[in-house]
């Protein structure tokens, strides 16, 4: 992404972490709705980060339950 988008990336990263945590806690998350207004580059980046954080959050949730 372009340099001027660094602030937006920080916001997107926060949102990806937040939605991933919600998913791991059993809350319904519609990533299609979340990314609906993003351009293709933003959407691909967001979905990659979301999957990364979702995997982490699910692992952490399993450890919490043990």
Per-residue pLDDT in tens (0 to 9) along the chain, 66 residues: 555 566 677 888 999 999 999 998 899 999 999 999 998 988 999 999 999 999 998 888 788 777
H helix runs in the chain, sequence order: 6-24, 31-34, 40-65
Whole-number pLDDT of residue 11: 84
Q: Given phi > 0 = left and psi -120 to 50 = alpha, else beta, which region is 39? A: beta
Whole-number pLDDT of residue 3: 55
Q: Where are the domains of the chain?
A: 3-65
Whole-number pLDDT of residue 61: 79
Q: How far apart are CA 3 and CA 22, in angstroms?
A: 29
Q: How far apart are CA 50 and CA 17, in angstroms?
A: 6
């Amino acid at each position: 992404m372009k340099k001027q988008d660094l602030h937006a990336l920080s916001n997107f990263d926060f949102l990806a972490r937040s939605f991933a945590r919600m998913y791991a806690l059993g809350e319904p998350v519609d990533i299609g709705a979340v990314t609906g207004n993003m351009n293709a580059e933003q959407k691909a980046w967001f979905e990659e980060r979301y999957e990364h954080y979702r995997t982490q959050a699910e692992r952490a949730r399993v450890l919490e339950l043990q």
